[in-house]
Amino acid sequence: MAEYSLLIILFAPFAGVIALMFVPNRRALQVRLTAATAAFVSFLGSWYVFFAYDTAKGGFQFVQRFEWSKELGIAFYLGVDGIGTPLVLACTILLFAGIFVSWHIKDRTKEFYIFLLILGAATMGVFMSLDLFFLYFFYEMSVIPMYLLLGVWGSHTQGYLEMTDPAQMKKRDSVSFIFNFAANSKEYAAMKLTLFLSAGAVFALMGILLIYKFSGLHTFDILVLREHAELSGSLAWVIWLLVFFGFASIAPIWPLHSWSPVGHAAAPAATSMLHAGVLMKLGHFSIIRILYEIMPDTTRELMPIAAVLCIFSIIYGGLVAYYAKDTKYVIGYSSSSHMGYVFLGMAALDYISLTGAVLYMFAHALATGMLFAMAGWVYDQTHTREIASLGGLVNRMPFVTGCFLVACVASIGMPGTVNFIAEIMILVGSWNKYPFQVLVAVVGIVLTTGYLFRMMRGVFYGPMEEKYSHSHDAVTVVDRLPLLLMIACTISFGIFPGHVYDVIRSGVEPLIARITEVAPLISQHSGGVMP
């Protein structure tokens, strides 16, 4: 069964979707248990792949390939390397945790879990795909459930009342309501997300088709293209820019970021967890998988673009997060800011910085997953996300407050968390090439400390209004399990980072050797020598 691990991980959520179709919506517990079982199978499978991955051998492992169209050169081709493996693990952790974070949803529970499972499976499909056609297919598949999860189960943000009539009747049947870009409704957030990601995907698709056409190989196989595609000159620049900015929109890089915080704010908690935790990483991962693998020379020439734009991502996102008044906007802009660190690590084209960037994608998924889960809990209890109207909730929610503190220190990058290791590697690895950007990144860390603890003080400390006295803490196993799971992973990988580092290293070393045109680094780990 080991060789089919990726198939099991990928199709377990789809199997759960099929099973849910035969479960009546009135049987809410059975619906939840079915979704949890499907997510748990993927969760266990990803842990097996993570620990069974041979770091001495490296390369793509657990490979499965099925011919889909020989004439078009398309194959259903799955495999994970040291970069995809931890991201698949992060996705299954957040999907499994998200099932329990959403345990109390009562409105069309079955449909919610169906779309959540599809979203998780589509994201994992991108991380596993070794065929450009299916990488793009799964990428586009992830947009559909996001639109529905936001538009149906999302919540309206500040400014929504401006879109209602004097009697506070929601104009849901009005076309102008949906296209009213002057206020924040969940419909607006869903449409903005879809339009931004779809527009970016079109540019990325153009780049992929140009690779297919002008490589002369008539295949979408990434490994074949990596070895034999010869793209150079102005054509290579055009392809690179199309693919980079097409996928960077989901990353999201400044100035293509504005859809993301709005989407975070409107999305239900579990959707925000997957959105910020792994959906945003599809951009970075796709850039690495396509441009670093297939076009290393052009990547070396043009990645300084990312080094410039990441400055704006880090500072702009941090400043807006500091002045934001909505808890989800704070976390949303924080995520946009932190994605600038990943771009910095990628742009430096250094072994240490790129390893740190991949590790940071994994670490950020856990930390931001915790923050959004607890922001969702506070909203469910108080029905507001406005920081100024909250306060004193530590008296009602001591467990959630403690978990929120752990998530904050992880996001800042305190020692003992895996985020600390990732941030240090990005800063150290990028210093020689981009010292100014590193200084900006340090300022970003200071901003992160300011806005996260400012938010924590405003939400959990100070006097509490009487209308929130009914709120209660997370006390049941269902409520505490997702938070404890993410905290355990954050701290355990922070204290014992050896295996996750070895896994990522085995994927990064050959990439850096290919891009910088130097001999691969020789490392002796687990008794083996890296190729």
Distance CA 474, CA 400 (A): 7
3-class SS letters over 119-150: HHHHHHHHHHECEHHHHHHHHHHCHHHHHHHH
In this structure, are residues 310 and 427 in contact, taking their beta carbons and an 8 Å threshold?
A: no
* pLDDT at site 428: 92
SS3 528: strand
Distance CA 169, CA 152 (A): 18
Distance CA 210, CA 320 (A): 38
Residues in the chain: 531
Closest to 445 measured CA to CA, from 456, 457, 453: 453
Is residue 167 a part of any domain in this protein? no
Distance CA 119, CA 135 (A): 14
Tokens of 9: 């991980």
Is residue 170 a part of any domain in this protein? no
Side chain identity at 1, as an amino acid letter?
M
Distance CA 187, CA 191 (A): 6
* pLDDT at site 158: 55
* pLDDT at site 157: 63
Distance CA 122, CA 523 (A): 34
Side chain identity at 501, as an amino acid letter?
Y
Q: How many CA atoms, within 13 angstroms, populate the side-chain half-sphere of residue 439? A: 5
Structural domains counted in the chain: 1
SS3 386: strand
DSSP-assigned states of every residue in 14-81: HHHHHHHTTS-TT-HHHHHHHHHHHHHHHHHHHHHHHHHS-TTT-S-EEEEEEEEETTTTEEEEEEE-
Residues 6+ apart with CB under 8 A from 424: 356, 413
* Structural domain boundaries enclosing 373: 2-159+183-519
The sign one gets for the Cα dihedral 162, 167, 170, 173 is negative
What pTM was estimated for this model as a whole? 0.88
Distance CA 86, CA 362 (A): 6
Distance CA 280, CA 249 (A): 9
Closest to 121 measured CA to CA, from 135, 105, 141, 100: 141
Is residue 526 a part of any domain in this protein? no
Is residue 462 a part of any domain in this protein? yes
Tokens of 303: 């990645």
Residue 164 backbone dihedrals phi, psi, to 5 degrees: -115, 160
* pLDDT at site 162: 44
Is residue 527 a part of any domain in this protein? no
Is residue 71 a part of any domain in this protein? yes
Side chain identity at 104, as an amino acid letter?
H
Distance CA 451, CA 334 (A): 9
Is residue 205 a part of any domain in this protein? yes
Distance CA 92, CA 513 (A): 30
Name the DSSP letter for residue 24: -
SS3 517: coil
Tokens of 16: 């759960």
Closest to 42 measured CA to CA, from 119, 154, 144, 102: 119
Residue environment code for 12-42, b if the CB has 16+ CB neighbours within 10 A, otherwise e: bbbbbbebbeebeeeebeebbebbbebbbbb
Distance CA 165, CA 5 (A): 54
* pLDDT at site 179: 45
Residue 221 bridge partners (DSSP): 131
DSSP-assigned states of every residue in 269-296: HHHHHHIIIIITHHHHHHHIIIIIHH-H
Residue 449 backbone dihedrals phi, psi, to 5 degrees: -60, -40
* pLDDT at site 122: 93
Q: How many CA atoms, within 13 angstroms, populate the side-chain half-sphere of residue 333? A: 22
Closest to 430 measured CA to CA, from 306, 312, 320: 306
3-class SS letters over 200-259: HHHHHHHHHHHHHHHCCCCCCEHHHHHHHCCCCHHHHHHHHHHHHHHHHCCCCCCCCCCH
* Pair type for strands 61-69 and 524-525: unpaired
Distance CA 317, CA 447 (A): 10
First vs last C-alpha separation in the chain: 27
* pLDDT at site 143: 85
In this structure, are residues 274 and 98 in contact, taking their beta carbons and an 8 Å threshold?
A: yes
- Residue-wise pLDDT for 230-270, tens only, equals 888 889 999 999 999 999 888 888 887 777 777 777 778 88
Is residue 327 a part of any domain in this protein? yes
* pLDDT at site 387: 85
Residues 6+ apart with CB under 8 A from 280: 250, 251, 252, 260, 335, 339
Distance CA 531, CA 521 (A): 8
Distance CA 82, CA 503 (A): 5
| Regions of the chain short of the pLDDT cut 50 | 159-182, 518-531
SS3 348: coil
